[in-house]
Amino acid sequence: MFKVDVDTDLIADLYEAGTLGLIEHDGWVEAFFDDRETALQFGEPSEAPDVDWVQQTQDAWPPLLVGEKFFLVAPWRTEPTPEGRFRLEINPGQQCGTGQHPCTQKCLEAMERIVKPGHSVLDVGSGSGILSIAARLLGAARVVACDIDPEACVDFVGSVDAVRSNSFDVVVANINEEVIGRMRPDFDRVARHRILSGFQNEDGEWTCLVC
């Protein structure tokens, strides 16, 4: 059994490589593999004790209350959904978007305020589809997810530049500052409400722009 420390952005790659389990820390994860050669793809591995990493990984994803309306859970959790909340079920082994990152949580909190029943919502850079699922739970009548990664949870492979102007009530994107800045004119063009996240303010705090 071998352990390697890696960036949280690589979670999907770790699962694809066959990791036995993950333990998430602040901005990084411990990943475990049967063989040293596979672990070497992600850094310098070290030997790890023989532990039930599957169970430990599952225990590392407890339910999470996000905002005022969401109850974020992994598929294997059996805790009942608190009254008045939506059960938002996401598999941490999927594409980016587990709900644990502050940017994703800020997007969800903003969606609670902005997305209304009957709205149309465009999810750009959908990843795991967590924001699309949240939009449906909030009552959106039409939700379209897009991502340049064909393995993501999408309705079409591509991005906001392929979308007709003024065709959505809300566009939500949790990507990064560089991409958000480059695509900002398209975000403004396609929807009257924008929820944009994935970047930090001047104090280094993760933030979400609602406009």
Asked which of 3-17, 76-90, 114-128, 172-186 is least confident by mean pLDDT, the reply is 3-17
Q: What pLDDT is stored for residue 23 in this prediction?
A: 84
Number of Cβ atoms within 10 Å of the Cβ of 136? 15
Is pLDDT of 2 > 60?
A: yes
Q: What does the chain come to in residues?
A: 211
94: pLDDT confidence band, cut at 50, 70 and 90?
A: low
Which residues make beta-bridge pairs with 184? none
Which residues make beta-bridge pairs with 197? 174, 208
Considering the entire predicted model, what is its pTM?
0.76
DSSP secondary structure code for residue 164 in this structure:
P
- Please give the Cα distance from 195 to 176 (Å, whole number): 13
CA 174 from chain center: how many Å? 8
Residues 111-121: tens digit of each pLDDT: 999 999 999 99
Q: What pLDDT is stored for residue 208 in this prediction?
A: 95
